[in-house]
Structure 1
Amino acid sequence: MAHLRFLIPALPPGTPPGTLFLTGEHRGWISNPEGWTFDQSGEGAMLDTEVDPGTLLSVKVRLQLPDNHVLEEGDAWGGRAPAHTVTVQEHGGVVTLNLEGWQDDREGRDRPRQSRPPRMEWNLTAPWGEQTVRLWWPEGHDGRELPLLVMHDGQNVFDEAPSFSGQSWQAADAAQARAEAGQPCLIAALTVGAERSRRYVPFAFELNEFRPGADEYLDWIETELLQALAEAFGPVPPERRALAGSSFGGLVTLYGGLRHPEAFGTLGVFSPAVWPDDFALLRWMEGRTAPDTRVWLDMGDHEAHTVAEATEVVHLTHELGAALQPQVAEVQVTIGEGHWHDEAAWAARFPAFLTWWLSGLVPAQGAGSSALAR
């Protein structure tokens, strides 16, 4: 076992009295302080523990109040903060946890933007209620006659202000760079909330209460959304349309692309979570083909509970790519070195995906009459 000391140099101003404790993937994110409480001293706190070497820890600090209500650490604007990540070495060591605040009723609404925001937002009617679509196109362009990228988890795609954990894909920054290199595109990002597990997972499992809703979601994208985009920005042929997402968003992207290959010519499958219902996707995709579809498939090499498990996840990703190879037109497998399962990793890999997608497109008919600077 390796000895780890988790050190909080200073608690956020205004921290109420209570029991500080550590939770994370290794504990199933439970809110029971037992065995993982910090000793508070002065302005900070400390926790000593033993952990198996090779463990990949993703952790957060929580605070149990005297009435048993539990607060989780947040960012300086009261929103959700990214987890602290640690690769446990043989010799152990000290892990410094800098806390910026606690999640509160502000929910990060005042969080400043560090990346380009969308240019506009739509609220469209969907079977599950109002669906927000966040839209971006390059500077100096009106958005027409462009390749179209539809993305899931739209609250995390562009800027940090509305993002789930204070991190974003910085998608508009990357896309603007491609536009300046002569490869512009239009991005439509679909936000999601508490029903994410139902909307994105096509198979019945605990998190969607055994009521999958991915087919309803994909049907809406392929009909209502694409029609609305065509009316506003002009029609885009399927071979110039892409669908992309991460984790469960990667799962629904691959499922959707194989379900109706005629809808999207390219799939951006980032860190796909294919495990629901005992890896039902792998059984479902057997015999399905999408002969004109290009697939970007990627994974970080730290997306598991241990280094050994992460190596196996990378191996399984290569196996998935090999299984897809005879079913589609092209598979590009990319492994992110030192990448965890988070927005920072997807932001790092997104520019390469954009370049691969846009560089592989056949120029549209009449592309010489660019909409730039209209």
Structure 2
Amino acid sequence: MRWLLPLLALLLAACATPSAVGPVAAGRFVEVERIAAEGLPDQRLTIWLPPDYDAGQRRYPVLYMHDGHNLFDPAKSNFGKVWAADRAMLAAMETGRVEPHIIVGIWAPGPDRYRQYLPQFAAIRATGGIAASIADNSNGGPVVSARYLAWIADELKPLIDREYRTRPGPGDTAIAGSSMGGIMSCYAIVERPDIFGRAACISSHWPVALPDEAEADRAQVLGIWRDWLGDRLGPPDGRRIWMDHGTATLDRYYAPYQRAVDRSFVAAGWTEGRDFRSEVYEGAEHEENAWAARLPEIFDWLLAD
């Protein structure tokens, strides 16, 4: 029963409401159904503890992932399909190149997902049709991604580090997500290199709004990313970032944006293949099965020692 102690401490510290907690064939899940976070919609977590966590005193690196409801259990996911992040981690561990990681899945807050994941600077700098689309997608609410990032970095992470046996340094702390979660992950590692040393930006929705392919809108968005990365990215300093996209459904719009982002990384002194990777998956769609198919490859490169 000792596994209840970290959970109870987590719940008390975060004013959270627990749900089912139990063992699985490989590893263990902890569900935290409600965490009150000032300035944000209520948050929810699904935490995966790797095999043998309860059997010893080893300390573990941690991977924070957005859209936590879509990571593990199809019954809890939006679309009946998941990333299978636990199985991808087990596969990466079997290679011997990746240590076991604790995975902290942060659920998206339903209709507030867009305004929580859209990087704050994009909302501030956007004008015209892009600004109007941002306002429409935010359902009239304010963009709160700066607060969300501060909550993860300064409140949630210290809580996880206190209640679980983690290795808390940036080199042992990763963040990952897809689509809007992809650009949120890029935002996190660029703005908080003191916290995050690795990031996976998967099928990142660089267009920010719905990509209608209007040249003026594309030019504006490309300029927003170029200027922000030019100001804030800096040299890698040990950081490692994975970026990718497919070529079907929504992903088919991403190539020109991704190429521009790649150029900004190179201009900042990042070396492709060593400090960052930017991959294209022909025929891959913008959906969980496609992300699940390449997640073991992502983990094998991003999280390797």
Name the TM tier (shorter chain): 0.7 to 0.9
1:199 correspondence with 2:116: yes
Residue of structure 2 aligned with 1:299, choices 242, 245, 266: 245
What is the rounded CA distance, in whole Å, between the counterparts of 1:154 and 1:291 in structure 2? 28
Maintained 8 Å contact 1:271/1:300: yes
Alignment map for 1:204-215 (pairs within 5 Å): 204=123, 205-206=134-135, 207-208=137-138, 209=140, 211-215=142-146
- 2:299 alignment partner in structure 1: 354
1:271 deviates by 0.8
1:194 match: secondary structure: helix
Change (3 A) 1:165 1:155: same
1:255 deviates by 1.2
1:313 deviates by 3.0
My pick for the range that moved more, 330-339 or 218-227, is 330-339
Q: Which has the higher helix share?
A: 2
> What is the CA deviation profile of residues 342-368 of structure 1, one whole-angstrom value per residue up to 9, with x for unaligned ones?
111111111111100222x3xxxxxxx
- 2:277 alignment partner in structure 1: 332
> What is the CA deviation profile of residues 99-124 of structure 1, one whole-angstrom value per residue up to 9, with x for unaligned ones?
xxxxxxxxxxxxxxxx9896111243
Change (3 A) 1:156 1:263: same
Structure 2: give runs of 5+ residues left out of the alignment.
Answer: 1-24, 124-133, 210-219
Q: Which amino acid aligns with 1:338?
A: G
Q: Which has the higher strand share?
A: 1
1:173 deviates by 0.8
What is the rounded CA distance, in whole Å, between the counterparts of 1:343 and 1:153 in structure 2? 11
1:163 correspondence with 2:63: no
Change (3 A) 1:116 1:184: closer
Maintained 8 Å contact 1:170/1:347: yes
| Bigger Cα Rg | 1
- 1:217 alignment partner in structure 2: 148
Residue of structure 1 aligned with 2:104, choices 166, 188, 203: 188
The share of aligned pairs that are identical, in percent, is: 30
Q: Which amino acid aligns with 1:150?
A: Y
- 1:284 alignment partner in structure 2: 228
1:287 deviates by 2.6
What is the rounded CA distance, in whole Å, between the counterparts of 2:27 and 2:143 in structure 1? 31
Change (3 A) 1:335 1:346: same
Instruction: Report the RMSD for the aligned CA atoms in angstroms.
Output: 2.3
1:300 deviates by 0.5
What is the rounded CA distance, in whole Å, between the counterparts of 2:295 and 2:75 in structure 1? 19
What is the rounded CA distance, in whole Å, between the counterparts of 2:259 and 2:28 in structure 1? 34
Maintained 8 Å contact 1:253/1:268: yes
1:126 deviates by 1.1
1:119 match: secondary structure: strand
1:126 match: secondary structure: coil
- 2:190 alignment partner in structure 1: 258
Change (3 A) 1:265 1:316: same
Maintained 8 Å contact 2:206/2:258: no
What is the rounded CA distance, in whole Å, between the counterparts of 1:228 and 1:257 in structure 2? 19
Residue of structure 2 aligned with 1:248, choices 147, 156, 180: 180
- 2:48 alignment partner in structure 1: 136
Change (3 A) 1:304 1:197: closer
What is the rounded CA distance, in whole Å, between the counterparts of 2:287 and 2:154 in structure 1? 30
Count of residues in correspondence between the two structures: 241
> What is the CA deviation profile of residues 192-239 of structure 1, one whole-angstrom value per residue up to 9, with x for unaligned ones?
121001100023312113621100000000011111111112342111
Alignment map for 1:12-31 (pairs within 5 Å): none
Change (3 A) 1:257 1:124: same
- 1:24 alignment partner in structure 2: none
> What is the CA deviation profile of residues 23-66 of structure 1, one whole-angstrom value per residue up to 9, with x for unaligned ones?
xxxxxxxxxxxxxxxxxxxxxxxxxxxxxxxxxxxxxxxxxxxx
Q: Which amino acid aligns with 2:243?
A: L
Change (3 A) 1:282 1:321: same
My pick for the range that moved more, 204-213 or 236-245, is 204-213
> What is the CA deviation profile of residues 234-275 of structure 1, one whole-angstrom value per residue up to 9, with x for unaligned ones?
342111111100000001111121112211001100011122
TM-score (structure 1 length as normaliser): 0.60
Higher RCO structure (Cα 8 Å, ≥6 apart): 2
Maintained 8 Å contact 2:170/2:195: yes
Change (3 A) 1:117 1:157: farther
